[in-house]
Each structure stands twice: as C-alpha cells, then as structure tokens.
C-alpha cells in the first residue's frame, strides 16, 4: 500500500481559502457586548449537492396532550350556584359550567342540577344540597372520583369500568362507595344521619369506625348518628324508591322491578328552615272563622270558603307558595298574589264596579273594594282577614285560618302536584267497546311522585310512565296498545288526595271512546 503525503503548503492554502469563503458568507459580526454561545457539536454537516438550497420541512405536529377527565354542569333547575375550582368564589351556574377538583355546586330549595363526567358517569344533585369534587383523576384508566357531600342528596351512575379506581361519596359520618352501578347518598348535617340506597350493581357504606355494610340492588342502609355503624342491609323503602323514580330517569327500567320494603324507623325528617315572617310552601287546610257586618249592605259579600260543615279529610286543600325572596305569598285557588307590607304581613286590594239592584229592584252600580290581609302566625299557620267595603253602603269583615298539611315544592309547577304515595285506581270503561277498552291501563293501584323537571311519574311493578305538565299544570300521557289503539290521559290536580283523570281511546275513523278514572290516596304521605 502506498501512502501519499501532501505538502504542508498545500494544506495551508486550502485552509485559508476555505476560511475566507466562510467569512464572506457569515454576515455581520456578533455584537461584542453579547457574549457568543458555542453551538454544541452534533456531527458533520451535510454536504450540499446543489446550488439551490433544499426546501425547508416543517417539524412534525406534536401529539396533543389528552385533556383528561372533566366535569360539567347541565339540566339546571331554579337556583344553582357553582364554585368552579378550589378557593374560587360562588357564582351563578350556567349550562356547561366546568367544575374542577376542589370546586363544587350547591342548590336552593326545590332546585336541581346534573353533573356530567367526561367518562360517561353522571351525578344528580337534589335541592338544598352542597357537594364538592374532592378528587377527579385526569386519567380515564383506573379513574378515581371523590365527592364530599356537605348536605342534601346525590344520585350517581357509574358507567366506566373502574379497574383499581374508585367512586366515593364522603360525608362527615361515613363513606359510600359504588362500582359500575347506581347509588344514592343522603346526608343531614343537623342529625348526622346518612342514608345510602343501591339501585344497581355493588354499593357499600363504611362508618367512621371502619364497619361496612354491603348492598345489592334494591337495598339500603343508614347511619343514624355520628359515631354509629351502618345498619344491616334491608329492602329499599318507599321514600327512597320514589326519589329514584322522580329524580333519576336513567333508572326508570330498574324502578319497575323493585317492590319497596317497610318504612325505616329512627330517621329524622330534615327541618325546613324558614325565615321569620315567611311560610312553608305546600298544601294548607282552609278553615272558615266568622263574619261581621257594619252598615246597610246592598252587594256586601259574606265570608265563605273553608269547606265549613265538612270534616278535615273532606275539606279542600289550598296550595300556598312563599316566593323565595319573601316579597309575596301566592294563594293558588283564587289565583291571588299577596305583596309583603311588613314582617309577616302580606296584603292585596282590588276595586271594581258591579251591577246590583236596590230595594225597589231598580238596577244600580255598586263600587266594591276588597282588601285581603295575611298574617303569618307561624311558618305553618296563617290568619286570613278579608274586608269588603261597599261605597256608600256597608263594610263586611270575615276571617279564616290556614294550617299546613303537607310541604310541597309548588315552585316546580305552574299548577300543583299530587301527594307522593300509593293510589287506588278505578277506570270507568262502561262506554267503551271491549276492543278499545283493552287500551286502558290494567293496573288498579299505582305510585305517584312529582318529578324533578315539573312532571309527574307514575310507577309500579312492571310500569313506569313520565307525564309532562303544560303551562296550566295539566299532566298528559299517551301510549299505544298492542292492538294499535292509542290511549290518551289528561290529569289536573284539584285535590292532591283525590285525582280524577279524563281519558280517551281512538283507533281509526269512528272508533273512539272516552271516560274518567279515579285515583284515591291509600297511604298517608310522609310528613
């Protein structure tokens, strides 16, 4: 092998020429005030094979980082506030408000909201409730979700396989756990009681002492006070089942298959906090007091109403609603609004003219002024005073009292809901041909409960039907029978204890019939 040696002068010439060429192409010198930074050596530079510089190639697009699991509010009803994240202030919630870990939501009386987690799980929050999203792991694999329920009630549906993850609802006195199923958790801060009901899958309630009770579908358990262990599992009672039926439509098919067990003893009904001078919305018993007349009356009205002569169970019930800000009380039956005039005092006044006859039976125009005053004696008792002044004639005064029978969130409806409970049902189908009568529902007893959206749910063994309410508060329901006939029902509630729906069935031209039904409350509503 022959080794060729270049002369030193030749190498020097080539080096100097190359250095001069590079200097000519390098542009202006760096600012001496800015120290130069040596570029790291990454290997030999590629050799250009063309006088034209190669086109620049864009860097490959970065793979977007997964946003992780998220939680958004939806189906807001009435008063809902949100705390989007930890340490943030409470704001009025809106559709799509995002709740991050550490944030939460709270509802006012007769309010409602749904929390949608991006993995498909769902939480529904009842009225007068507060929860915080203590933990929401970003990964959808083995997800961990922890809610802290400070007051009220939540219903949960877990759709994501949890793997080694978990879904928990923490309260000060116990922790409820659900896996791939549906569970409700209720906590009353005043009594410290916790109630957990399992509609589907596997659920568990663990007390502060570490003792646990496992639940299968259709069961519930309770912690009856701080420091106590959960009770043994037992069948879900009617109140819990009614809540599932009215507040969690995702469980409609499962509700059909559950027969409630006995009512739970030892549970404390949460006390409604009512500001001074206000009343509890619901159904009230109207009792007539007395009448006094001053002067010579032509058209003066004499006090009435209250179902005098009837027993308490026969008297009509009057729906009364307290406006949330305390500014008014609404009396549904006469359609009257009473404005607040003082603490615990509400009034309305109306003046109009009417035609009457004098003692010689001659027509005469009479001007009447009615003034009604409500005096709140207690949150569950009202004194109603009416003064009827006949211009140039007489003054008639009469009184009545209203006593609360059943608290109901009438704010959800333009009309009024029936009582929650079980009703005996009678259908009058005498006027229907047998073929059309087959379309009339066959059940002779049914359970009713107001729904979260202002509708009404009828449910029982093998049956679940949601009825919507129109602007007048009339519920409607339509279904098709196996023989092709269509059944339509209309229900307006005048007395929540006794319901008289009207219905009709039609199949084709000239093939129709109609009738009425009767629904009588069989079981007294819970207080």
Classify strands 166-171 and 174-188 as parallel, antiparallel or unpaired.
antiparallel
Q: Where in the chain is the domain with CATH 2.60.120.1440?
A: 71-255
Residues 6+ apart with CB under 8 A from 232: 213, 221
Mean pLDDT of 6-35: 35
Place of tokens 């100097």: 16
The confidence score (pLDDT) of residue 200 equals: 95
| pLDDT > 80? residue 358 | no
SS3 per-residue string spanning 323-373: CCCCCEEEECCCCEEEEEEECCEEEEEEEEEEEEECCCCCEEEEEEEEEEE
Share of the chain above pLDDT 70, in %: 80
* pLDDT at residue number 412: 67
Over residues 114-166, the pLDDT tens digits come to 999 998 899 999 999 999 999 999 877 788 999 999 999 999 999 876 676 88
Whether 418 shows a pLDDT value over 70: the answer reads yes
What does the alpha-carbon distance between residue 393 and residue 57 come to, in Å, rounded to a whole number?
Answer: 100
Please report how many Cα atoms fall inside a 13 Å half-sphere around the Cα of residue 322, on the Cβ side: 29
Q: Of 436, 452, 500, 448, nearest to 474 (Cα)? A: 500
pLDDT of residue 488: 94
User: Cα–chain-centroid distance for residue 249?
Assistant: 11
Question: Is the pLDDT at 69 greater than 70, yes or no?
Answer: yes
Which class in CATH covers the domain with range 413-521? mainly beta
From the list 399, 381, 206, the residue with the least C-alpha distance to 288 is 399
Provide the pLDDT for residue 60: 34
Sign of CA dihedral 27, 29, 31, 36: positive
More confident residue, 352 or 38: 352
Tell me the helix, strand and coil percentages in the chain, rounded to 5.
10, 45, 45
Mean pLDDT, range 327-339, rounded to an integer: 83
pLDDT tens profile 481-521: 888 999 999 998 888 899 999 999 999 888 899 999 999 99
Q: Is the pLDDT of residue 403 over 70?
A: yes
Model pLDDT, residue 52 = 30
**Element (DSSP H or E) covering residue 436:** helix 434-437
| pLDDT, mean over the chain | 81
pLDDT digits (tens, 9 = 90+) for 368-391: 888 999 999 999 999 999 998 877
Q: Is 228 helix (H, G, I), strand (E, B) or coil?
A: coil
- Which pLDDT value is given to residue 414? 65
Which band of pLDDT confidence, cut at 50, 70 and 90, is reported for residue 250?
very high
How many residues can be counted in the chain?
Answer: 527
Strand partners, 331: 320, 336
Here the tokens at position 360 are 């010689």
Q: What is the pLDDT of residue 201?
A: 93
Percent of the chain with pLDDT over 90: 50
Long-range contacts of 384-388 (CB under 8 A, 24+ apart): 386/303, 388/300, 388/301
The answer for 421, left when phi > 0, alpha when psi is -120 to 50, beta otherwise, is left
pLDDT-derived band at 360 (thresholds 50, 70, 90) equals confident
- Cα of first residue to Cα of last residue in the chain, in angstroms, is 111
Least confident among 96-110, 211-225, 306-320: 306-320
How far is the C-alpha of 447 from the C-alpha of 457, rounded, in Å? 8
Name, in order, each residue with C-beta under 8 angstroms of 255's C-beta and a sequence gap of 6 or more.
Answer: 199, 241, 244, 245, 459, 464
Lowest mean pLDDT among 198-212, 288-302, 335-349: 288-302
pLDDT reported for residue 34: 33
Q: Say which CATH class 71-255 falls into.
A: mainly beta
Which tokens in the block code for residue 64?
């977007």
pLDDT recorded at residue 361:
78
User: Average pLDDT of 32-41?
Assistant: 33
Name the segment(s) of the chain with CATH classification 2.40.128. 413-521
Question: Which tokens hold the place of 283?
Answer: 């159904």
């Amino acid at each position: 092998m022959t080794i060729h040696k270049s002369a030193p002068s030749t190498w020097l010439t080539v080096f100097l020429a190359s250095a001069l060429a590079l200097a000519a192409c390098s542009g202006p010198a760096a600012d001496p005030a800015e120290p130069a930074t040596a570029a790291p050596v990454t290997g030999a530079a590629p050799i250009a094979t063309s006088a034209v510089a190669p086109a620049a190639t864009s860097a490959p697009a970065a793979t977007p980082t997964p946003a992780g699991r998220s939680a958004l509010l939806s189906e807001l009803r009435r008063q809902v506030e949100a705390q989007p994240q930890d340490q943030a202030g409470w704001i009025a919630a809106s559709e799509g408000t995002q709740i991050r870990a550490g944030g939460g939501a709270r509802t006012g009386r007769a309010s409602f909201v749904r929390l949608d987690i991006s993995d498909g799980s769902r939480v529904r929050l009842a009225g007068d409730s507060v929860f915080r999203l203590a933990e929401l792991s970003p990964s959808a694999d083995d997800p961990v979700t922890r809610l802290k329920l400070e007051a009220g009630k939540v219903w949960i549906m877990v759709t994501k396989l949890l793997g080694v993850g978990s879904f928990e609802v923490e309260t000060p006195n116990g922790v409820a756990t659900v896996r791939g199923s549906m569970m409700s958790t209720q906590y009353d801060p005043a009594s410290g009681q916790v109630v957990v009901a399992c509609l589907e899958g596997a659920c568990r309630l663990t007390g502060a002492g570490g003792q646990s009770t496992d639940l299968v579908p259709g069961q519930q358990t309770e912690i009856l006070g701080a420091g106590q262990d959960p009770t043994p599992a037992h069948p879900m009672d009617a109140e819990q089942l009614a809540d599932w039926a009215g507040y969690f439509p995702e469980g409609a098919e499962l509700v059909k298959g559950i027969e409630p067990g006995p009512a739970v003893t030892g549970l404390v009904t949460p006390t409604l906090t009512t500001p001074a001078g206000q009343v509890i919305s619901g159904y009230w018993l109207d009792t007539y007091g007395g009448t006094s007349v001053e002067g010579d009356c032509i058209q003066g009205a004499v006090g009435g109403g209250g179902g005098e002569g009837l027993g308490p169970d026969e008297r009509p019930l009057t729906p009364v609603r307290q406006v949330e800000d305390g500014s008014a009380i609404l009396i549904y039956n006469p359609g009257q609004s009473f404005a607040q005039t003082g603490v615990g005092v509400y009034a309305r006044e109306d003046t109009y003219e009417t035609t009457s006859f004098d003692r010689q039976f001659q027509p005469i125009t009479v001007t009447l002024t009615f003034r009604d005053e409500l005096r709140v004696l207690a949150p569950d008792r009202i004194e109603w005073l009416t003064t009827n002044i006949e211009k140039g004639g007489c003054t008639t005064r009469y009184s009545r009292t209203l006593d609360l029978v059943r608290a109901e969130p009438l704010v959800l409806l333009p009309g009024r809901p029936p009582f929650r409970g079980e009703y005996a049902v009678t259908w009058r189908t005498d006027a229907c041909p047998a073929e059309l009568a087959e379309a009339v529902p066959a059940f002779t007893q049914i359970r009713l409960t107001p729904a979260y959206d202002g509708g009404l749910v009828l449910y029982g063994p093998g049956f679940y039907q949601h009825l919507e309410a129109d602007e007048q508060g009339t519920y409607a329901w339509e279904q098709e029978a196996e023989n092709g006939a269509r059944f339509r029902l209309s229900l307006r509630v005048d007395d929540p204890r006794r319901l008289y729906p009207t219905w009709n069935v039609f199949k084709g031209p000239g093939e129709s019939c109609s009738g009425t039904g009767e629904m009588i409350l069989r079981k007294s509503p819970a207080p």
